[in-house]
Structure 1
Amino acid sequence: MPRFYCPVPLATGTPLDLPPDAARHVQVLRLQPGHAITLFNGTGGEWDACVTRMGRSDVQVAVGAHHAVEREAVRTVHLLAAISANERMDWLVEKAAELGAASITPLLAERSVLKLKGERAGKKLAHWRAVASAACEQCGRNRVPQIHDAQSLAEWLASEAGRAAPPDAPVRGTRLLLSLRPDAQRLAEAANGGAGPVTLLSGPEGGLTSTEEASALAAGFLPVTLGPRVLRAETAPLAVLAALTL
């Protein structure tokens, strides 16, 4: 059954005009009145729905029963991923959403090829959020990972150090840094036995600079290795996500 991300309040037994993106998707699939679909808004669970009207640019549905279905990973993983070149960042965001990342922070590393600021940064952020929501539509997740504003590692560390955690904030958990250091631990040894949340830091093509890596280590990140092969910047964090969440 087709699934659509619908980031608006949903209530059983009410008619709803779908938001533009969802309406456009329904029209692309050429669905007609009477077709059954599934809606989710990221707050938990999913809703049955039925298309009731197809306009030239709008779609109305009747919202049906809510199902408290969750398909989240057992372990919460927050990904700090240096921005990759070309389409590789899109691919990384898409696959990280499928693998269950709780949040993704695009990192403006010193060696990142793509530099973002101003209007371009805003457009890229909106694009990555759309990529993540589309991935959740496809894979069955009912909670879309939060895509944070792009920032440097120094900015992220400063915000974490100075942020007053709200009462319901998650425990900081384990911090892991993908590294080629000779003293890096194997992932299984550093992952704390599969318990508690993880913040995973992954660098760009060419890796983090020595200054960035030193800052991360000083902030409590543990260097980890995935073995003797050097994986691409977009492959390595996905390998760790798969190991931690599947």
Structure 2
Amino acid sequence: MTYRLVIEPTQKQQEWVNLTEQQLHYLRRVLRLKNGAHFIVMDGQGNVWNAILHENSAQLLDIITTSTELSIKLTLMVALPKGNGFEDIVRSCTELGVNTFIPVISERTLLNPSPQKVERWRKIAIEAAEQSEREIIPQIFEPINFPTALTKIKEIETNKYICVTRREEVNHLFIHLQKPLLNSLVVATGPEGGWTNLEVQTAIKAGFEPVSLGRRILRAVTAPVYIASLVSAVGETHSMS
């Protein structure tokens, strides 16, 4: 097994990487690697190298060109669930290929996350990206009110969908994924209890199209994972055909 390590781009000095104390502890004490051991270095922005461990640094040997990223950039706009539910979302959806997380505060959101929570989410994303052999680290924005998030994303040219329940007149997200799409996709999922009618109407005015995730009512933690799985399966199937 070849281990992966995420670095900050500023750590790279030509073909060398200056390792932090925490990274050295992980490589030497946790993984028990010795000088001369090989591992993989990634900067979280799509660049991946084979590397060899020296005393307090790593030498970059060659670039790895095999891509593990989805052909479409998926952004999840998630109304924060209660408890630690968003941690599970970040971990699973990072493994499935999500590029960006926008945590939002909706009318029915109960969680008011601290800055420490946000840092923990970002750490989980790094760990999940390393584990799943991704090339990039998903971006996780600071939590923002849902109407403000809609305003910021309104002018961005992308396919935008908001997941709703108990509306027989809307199509399943899968049907939309069969159509020609732009190279990016934004999908919004609601909190426990769902979006309010006003929130749905505001999203529609901002260019979002309501979609269904099926006849069953999914938990706030389950819906984002389902969406990421669906987009991943459709995207990778199309890229292989």
Normalized against structure 2, the TM-score is what?
0.87
State the aligned residue count. Answer: 228
Cα distance change, pair 193–220 in 1 and its aligned pair in 2 (3 A)? same
Structure-2 residue corresponding to 1:36 = 38
RMSD: 1.9
Shift of 1:194: 5.1
CA contact (8 A) 1:190 1:222 kept: no
CA contact (8 A) 2:151 2:206 kept: no
1:226 counterpart SS class = coil
AA at the equivalent of 1:19: T
Task: Give me the whole-angstrom Cα distance separating, in 2, the residues matched to 1:13 and 1:221.
Answer: 45
Structure-1 residue corresponding to 2:75 = 78
Task: Give me the whole-angstrom Cα distance separating, in 2, the residues matched to 1:20 and 1:209.
Answer: 48
Task: Give me the whole-angstrom Cα distance separating, in 2, the residues matched to 1:129 and 1:176.
Answer: 25
2:161 to 176, 181, 192: 176
1:132 to 116, 119, 125: 125
Structure-2 residue corresponding to 1:8 = 9
1:31-68 residue CA offsets vs partner (Å, 9 max, x unmatched): 22222110000232311111222xxxxx4222221223
Gaps of 5+ in 1: 54-58, 164-170
1:213 counterpart SS class = helix
Equivalent residue runs for 1:139-158 within 5 Å: 139-158=132-151
Task: Give me the whole-angstrom Cα distance separating, in 2, the residues matched to 1:13 and 1:217.
Answer: 49
Over the matched positions of the two proteins, sequence identity in percent amounts to 25
Structure-1 residue corresponding to 2:58 = 61
Structure-1 residue corresponding to 2:239 = none
Gaps of 5+ in 2: 234-241
Task: Give me the whole-angstrom Cα distance separating, in 2, the residues matched to 1:77 and 1:176.
Answer: 11
AA at the equivalent of 1:105: I
1:15-42 residue CA offsets vs partner (Å, 9 max, x unmatched): x331344333223222222221100002
Question: Is the counterpart of residue 195 in structure 1 residue 181 in structure 2?
Answer: yes
